[in-house]
Structure 1
Amino acid sequence: MLSSSVIESALDQVKPAAHLYVAYSGGVDSHVLLHLCASMPGLAGKITAVYVHHGLQAEADAWAVHCRNTAEALGVGFNALYVNAAAAPGESPEEAARDARYSALKALMDADDVLLVAQHRDDQLETVLLQLFRGSGLRGLSGMPEHMVFGRGVMLRPLLNISRQAIRHYAESHKLSWVEDPSNLHIDYDRNFLRNIIVPLIKQRWPACDKTVARSARHCAEAQALISVIAGDLFHAVFNEADKTLSISSLQLLNKPRQQLVIRHWFQTLGLKMPAQDFVERILSQIVAARVGSDPVLSGRGYDVRRYRDKLYCLKQLPKQALQDISWPVGQTSLKVTDDQVWLCMPSSTGILRERWLNANVVVRFRRGGEKMQLPGRKGRHVLKNLFQEAGIPPWEREGMPLIYLDDQLAAVGDQWISAEFYAEKTDGCIRLHRQKQE
């Protein structure tokens, strides 16, 4: 018999919640979850039902009203979040809606907050089958975890070991009123096709398959946990914390399966979606194994994987920009140079004299090739290309590095070098440039 004890057991796994959010769509599963929580006196005043309005259904406004009325009747708080769940090119509508929903819910979470979601054992069966059909590894076949870090708080799935039938029985016995989403019947969505067509056929032959598949998922999760420990040890031996890169020479000392483990652990550390097997193999064959000195690029979902010298980089993709000359207005202490760069003019005891800066025509330009400058304390004039190589600055960073001209003379290269002709030392009388990265 389904009771509030499942909520108590789930909450016992984490420290006491400062606030409890319940993801409430108005459907039977989330309504039962909210009803169970509202029946617990110890949670009084801590619960907020959260309805995410995706803007994809004509009935969504009416569902929001239904959810608000239900929350008020149960004596819990209510919050409606409005999101843009339109799918990007190449993205599935299901994935777009889920990502939009989770992003909105994460923004609510504070430290010690808990989010409860209503996925149950039959949802777990569908998830594992979908991952199996997609050729997923152990991580995917582990299904959904019962609890996980979510934003600044924790997400719990207290109904994950409860069947759909038991949830429906609870709703009917308590005479709950819920909404039915007609899109759940559209079998052009993979999960709905499984739920409405495939799983009923499987259950005719194997009635307990939701239990047995859930057990297999737990076995996979246990195996994945062990592998993650191994992967973590391998990963930290090749990872450069300062710039989030991997040492290529260290990576190449490992055999291929261990290299793949490290690459996946890297993506997890960077907060990126787990790459497909084919993409991992292409990273190893096209980037890691590339000729030293080459600059191959492998593009993924919003990022580029590249190499420079002995480092493997995973960089956020930026749109190609036309780099044009920019005048630096007199007296202005900051200047947006590209979409991801703002440069600040900061006081310093060494650098370009402030008076000279303020009285000059300051223009930001970008490399055209052949630029030279003399450095303080060094003889001769040096080609910028050689200076960049000497400093180990990757090619893609050189392209957007601003060249600062004062009265048409090259005075500085970003925050790297100041020309000997402009370099000065004067306590609090100089300025230097500092880059402020834009996320």
Structure 2
Amino acid sequence: MQRTLPTLNEVWQRTSRQTFLNYCKTFAPQTRFLVGCSGGVDSMVLLHFLKMYSPFPIRAIYINHQLQSQASEWGKLVENFCDQHQIEYIYQPVHVASGNLEQQAREARYAAFKQHVSDHDYLVLAHHQQDQAETALLRLFSGAGVKGLSAMRLLDQRHAIPIFRPLLNWSREQIMSYANAYNLAYVVDPTNNDDHYDRAWARQHLWPVIQQRFPKMQQAVVRATYLMQDADEILSEILQQDLANVVQQDQVNIPKLLELSGARQRQLLSAWMQGNSIYRPSLELVNRLQNDVIHARDDAQSRLHWNDYYFVRFQTSLYRLTSQDLEIDSDAQEQEIVMQLQSPYAVLTGHYFNQIDHFGLDLTLLGQSLTLRTRQGGEKIHLHGRIGHWPLKKAIQAAQIPPWQRQRIQILSKDDVMLGVFTPQGFWLAQSVYCQRNGWVPQLD
């Protein structure tokens, strides 16, 4: 009896299935998959493939961006498939803000995904080989660096939602072959052919031209993204070492920064400026931070504003501040306060509680009404343990308290007698008739 040899398509499917199952062995046993499904051929193939072979529970989520008149019908197709195959289905309408439509739709989509993921959940998306190559080329045209050119990862755990892309090495032809083999129904989004959008334009006009000259261009670009991912990991390891050495308490130590090469300085500043944002600043902004802030004259009070943060230099440190850090609380200029031992309370420079110390304020002041006011200028203080009165301004300068923090300094007094000063560095006890042994002192919590 003659044996029937498996077709190339059958061999490919068997290999893909085994690769997927091997990868799943790296996940925790309690893993769940949330499958983003638009109703297009890619996501319908993904949903069917996972239903067939996933060792973990799966749910499907359809995001209705409310931008297409047929969007509800597309959601119904996904829902019918889920009903037929006993898959939990989530329908999520979103509002897309005005502006760059592709970017705003993406942000709305991921915000919706985030609502439905919890611990041990992975968002599973149907990006494939051509998507990967297109992403790399479009990022190249926008001037991206190593991180941008590494494009999408098979497993991406760098963000708030861990993402798994099992089809990332599948070609478009393999996806269509799979859909035909299982007779899968799917929808065709007309915007996929609208060359007003960069990706659709590249797919329709640029792609055929390049592929005609370089037939294996897609595989070559994808291979380059994997090399870029390795390079990005190496750079990330170096960056983490530099951040640990240069950044303390969210402040950049400028002398240590300047010990690094120019490339490592730019890499560190770019990552530090990014913070928890999705996107990094442009190279132009990093250069402005270096030239206009870090290398500004010592007496200059230069600052750079980007992405809701203000970047300010003081002495040998670079600070990242919010607008709240720079605001003055006009309601806190003068107020009455009653203090007790061990009872927490807040002032402009932090949270405090009072405790007994070897030298502090008279215990009889506890429970009495004391005055708390912001400094007005011209005050003098006799710091406990020091000789003579100092201008408070000079004491603040000597302590190297940054200018934006000085406006939050508050003076504690009783009947016009200065008891001490609340500063970002803690409470400064003033020498007065109210000082005694075994008294109480405010302590930063």
**Cα deviations across residues 191-237 of structure 1 (Å, max 9, x unaligned)?**
23323433244334434322111112222222333333444444433
The answer to whether the 8 Å contact 1:349/1:425 transfers is no
Q: Which one is further off, 324-333 or 137-146?
A: 324-333
Q: Which of 45, 62, 67 is the aligned partner of 1:51? A: 62
Alpha-carbon spacing, 1:432–1:73, altered in 2? closer, same or farther (3 Å): farther
Shift of 1:120: 1.0
Q: Which structure's CA Rg is the greater one?
A: 2
Q: Which of 79, 83, 91 is the aligned partner of 2:90? A: 79
Asked if 1:278 is matched to 2:287, the reply is no
Q: Which one is further off, 133-142 or 314-323?
A: 314-323
Q: Give the alignment of 1:98-247 within 5 angstroms.
A: 98-106=106-114, 108-150=116-158, 154-240=162-248, 243-247=249-253
Q: Give the alignment of 1:376-395 within 5 angstroms.
A: 376-395=384-403
Q: Match of 1:70, SS?
A: helix
The answer to whether the 8 Å contact 1:376/1:423 transfers is no
| Number of the residue aligned with 2:37 | 24
| Number of the residue aligned with 1:346 | 353
| Number of the residue aligned with 2:4 | none
Shift of 1:358: 4.5
The 2-side partners of 1:146 and 1:273 are apart by 20
| Number of the residue aligned with 1:323 | 329
| Aligned amino acid, residue 81 of structure 2 | T
Shift of 1:282: 2.0
The 2-side partners of 1:152 and 1:318 are apart by 25
Shift of 1:272: 6.0
TM-score calculated relative to the size of structure 2 = 0.79
**Cα deviations across residues 361-407 of structure 1 (Å, max 9, x unaligned)?**
655x5454334433333333433432332223222222344555666
Alpha-carbon spacing, 1:381–1:263, altered in 2? closer, same or farther (3 Å): same
The answer to whether the 8 Å contact 2:356/2:441 transfers is yes
Alpha-carbon spacing, 1:331–1:376, altered in 2? closer, same or farther (3 Å): closer
Q: Give the alignment of 1:260-279 within 5 angstroms.
A: 260-267=266-273, 273-279=279-285
**Cα deviations across residues 227-268 of structure 1 (Å, max 9, x unaligned)?**
33444444433232xx12222112222332232233245456
| Number of the residue aligned with 1:291 | 297
The 2-side partners of 1:148 and 1:124 are apart by 14
Alpha-carbon spacing, 1:320–1:182, altered in 2? closer, same or farther (3 Å): farther
The 1-side partners of 2:117 and 2:164 are apart by 13
| Number of the residue aligned with 2:52 | 39
Asked if 1:360 is matched to 2:369, the reply is yes
The 1-side partners of 2:114 and 2:406 are apart by 36
**Cα deviations across residues 264-300 of structure 1 (Å, max 9, x unaligned)?**
4545676663222222222222222223353321122
Shift of 1:121: 1.1
The 1-side partners of 2:114 and 2:274 are apart by 18
Alpha-carbon spacing, 1:408–1:76, altered in 2? closer, same or farther (3 Å): farther
| Aligned amino acid, residue 398 of structure 1 | R
Alpha-carbon spacing, 1:228–1:152, altered in 2? closer, same or farther (3 Å): closer
TM-score calculated relative to the size of structure 1 = 0.80
| Aligned amino acid, residue 35 of structure 1 | H
| Aligned amino acid, residue 84 of structure 2 | A
The answer to whether the 8 Å contact 1:124/1:144 transfers is yes
The answer to whether the 8 Å contact 1:235/1:265 transfers is no
Alpha-carbon spacing, 1:193–1:229, altered in 2? closer, same or farther (3 Å): same
Q: Match of 1:42, SS?
A: coil
Q: Which one is further off, 281-290 or 377-386?
A: 377-386
**Cα deviations across residues 133-182 of structure 1 (Å, max 9, x unaligned)?**
11112221121122121556632111111122322332233232334444
Q: Match of 1:114, SS?
A: strand
| Aligned amino acid, residue 295 of structure 2 | A
| Aligned amino acid, residue 427 of structure 2 | W
The answer to whether the 8 Å contact 2:42/2:175 transfers is yes
Asked if 1:254 is matched to 2:260, the reply is yes
Alpha-carbon spacing, 1:384–1:362, altered in 2? closer, same or farther (3 Å): same
Q: Match of 1:79, SS?
A: strand
Alpha-carbon spacing, 1:273–1:359, altered in 2? closer, same or farther (3 Å): same
- In the alignment, structure 1 segments of 5+ residues that lack a partner are none
Q: Give the alignment of 1:396-407 within 5 angstroms.
A: 396-402=404-410
Q: Which of 17, 21, 25 is the aligned partner of 1:8? A: 21
Alpha-carbon spacing, 1:290–1:61, altered in 2? closer, same or farther (3 Å): same
The answer to whether the 8 Å contact 1:30/1:118 transfers is yes
Shift of 1:131: 1.1
Shift of 1:41: 6.2
Q: Which of 374, 384, 393 is the aligned partner of 2:382? A: 374
The 1-side partners of 2:217 and 2:66 are apart by 35
